[in-house]
Structures are given as structure tokens and as C-alpha cells.
Structure 1
Amino acid sequence: MFAEAVLDAGGQLEVVLPSRNYRERKVKPDHVELFDDLLARATSVRVMDFEDTGREAYEAANEAMLTSCDRLVAVRDGGVGEKGGTGTVVELARVQNMPVDIVWPEGAGRA
């Protein structure tokens, strides 16, 4: 939803995929069409040099993503997540003294 909102507002989407098999392994069948549409609308797509998605691939993708931005806007509830997840990239950005904005609307919840 966030990527669609950015594009609809005239922004650009730059994608970093953690592995070559990310689409096949992680994108749910009912989300494939939207995933493909967002990739087609992206100004750039970078695929990390990992065959399989896992913690190491996610951490490498996080680091690569941070090298191409000046500010991190993270959609996150603030809960404890997995290593390599959104919380990890937020902390990495803060260590690098990058401005970080957390977006989590009041009343929002996880499905």
C-alpha cells in the first residue's frame, strides 16, 4: 500500500530485492499481479546476489537500500521483529545518523 501511495503521489519507487528467487518464494499467489505491476513501475530494480531469501540476504538488501537514500521512511509498528527486518534497517539508519521517520497510523494493526 505504501509503495502504491508513493507512486500515486508522483514519487519514485526504487526496489532492492534480497534474492533472485524472492518473487517465487515470498510473494503470495494473490499478490503476484500487484508485485509485478510495482516492479514495472519502479525506476530501478536491484537484485542482491543471493539465490535464496534469508536473514543474510535481507541484511545485505537493507544495507544496499540505505546507500541510495538520504532519509528512511519506515512503516512499522515498533514491535520486536526478525533480524534483517524493518527494525534492523531502522537501527542501522540511526547508527549512520540518517533521519528516520516511522509511519504507523493510530488504530492500525497487523493482519
Structure 2
Amino acid sequence: MRYGVTGHRVLPAGIADCAVAHWRRVLPAGSALVGVSCLAEGADQLFAAFVLAAGGRLEAVLPWAGYADSLTGDGSRARFDDLVRPATTVLTMPDATPRERGFLAAGQTLVDRCDHLFAVWDGQPARGVGGTADVVAYAKQRGCPVTVLWIDGVRRA
């Protein structure tokens, strides 16, 4: 089985711990674990790091060539580099204008490559094309099981 992730780039306090605790409970360790991530800041990098630390294999789906240069959060570019290097597969979407099309294409490709999607998501509409809500909607349309990981009452900034 392949497990994918979609989620917010900025995670409020407690959400990362909630997601990691869930993954520890339900995911296999070692080579039986295959994770698919777009390696964005926040939930994507958190899941990718978890997969690699558990001894799993990582597949990366990037929204466009040079995507790493768009990562501006504290340390997110360095984490991206550390995560993409050991990935067994790296798929890069064709360059798109506007860039949001690249996010949507990557999210849809991620869903098409996984058997189960984890959404570190507050349940709110996407703030841009290809956001978490769009990826979750696509997964549901495709019949891909989705597990939402969030804490009731927590709001994102």
C-alpha cells in the first residue's frame, strides 16, 4: 500500500503531534511503508520525514521544476533538500501558469499514486487552487479513502 499526505503549510500547536501519533499507530514500519508527498512546508514535510525515519520509502511529487526555490519558511528549503535526496521516485509536474495549476496537478497525481490519503486539514475550503480541500475532494471523487487528522476547535492562522 502507498500512503499519501496533503495538508496545511502552517500547523497550529498540537496538530503535528496529533498526526505523528496517528501515523505511529496505524502505519507499518520498514520497507512495507511507502509514502507519497509533495514535500511542501508543514504537513507534507512532516509526513515525509516520518516515513523515512520509520525506514519506509518516499515518493515525491513536485508541482514544477525549481519548486524548492519557492520554499521560504524557516528551514523548509533545507528540509526539502534532506527529504528529496533519499526519495526513491521524484516526479515533477510540467511547468504551469499560474503556479496554482502545478499545485493542483501535483495533488491529483499524488492521489492517483496512493491507496490511502492522510489530510492534515481543518476542514475549511482551500485558500487557493490545489489547496488541501481540493486534494481531499479529488481523492473522495476517485474513491480513495481519506483520514482527516485535526483536533476539534483548533484553528489555523
Matches within 5 A, 1:1-111: 1-28=46-73, 30-50=75-95, 54-81=99-126, 82-105=128-151, 110=156
Superposed CA RMSD in Å reads 2.2
Structure 1 stretches of 4+ with a deviation exceeding 4 A read: 105-109
The structure whose RCO (Cα within 8 Å, separation 6+) is larger is 2
1:102 offset after TM fit, Å? 1.1
In the alignment, the residues of structure 2 paired with residue 52 and residue 39 of structure 1 have an alpha-carbon distance, to the nearest angstrom, of: 24
The answer to which of 31-40 and 4-13 deviates more is 4-13
With over 3 angstroms needed to count, the CA separation of the structure-2 counterparts of 1:107 and 1:9, relative to structure 1, is farther
**Structure 2: any 5+ residue segments left out of the alignment?**
1-45
In the alignment, the residues of structure 2 paired with residue 103 and residue 54 of structure 1 have an alpha-carbon distance, to the nearest angstrom, of: 27
1:3 offset after TM fit, Å? 1.8
Aligned length: 111
Deviation per residue, 1:11-49 (Å, 9 max, x gap): 222111101121112344632221100001212111111
TM-score normalised over the length of structure 2: 0.61
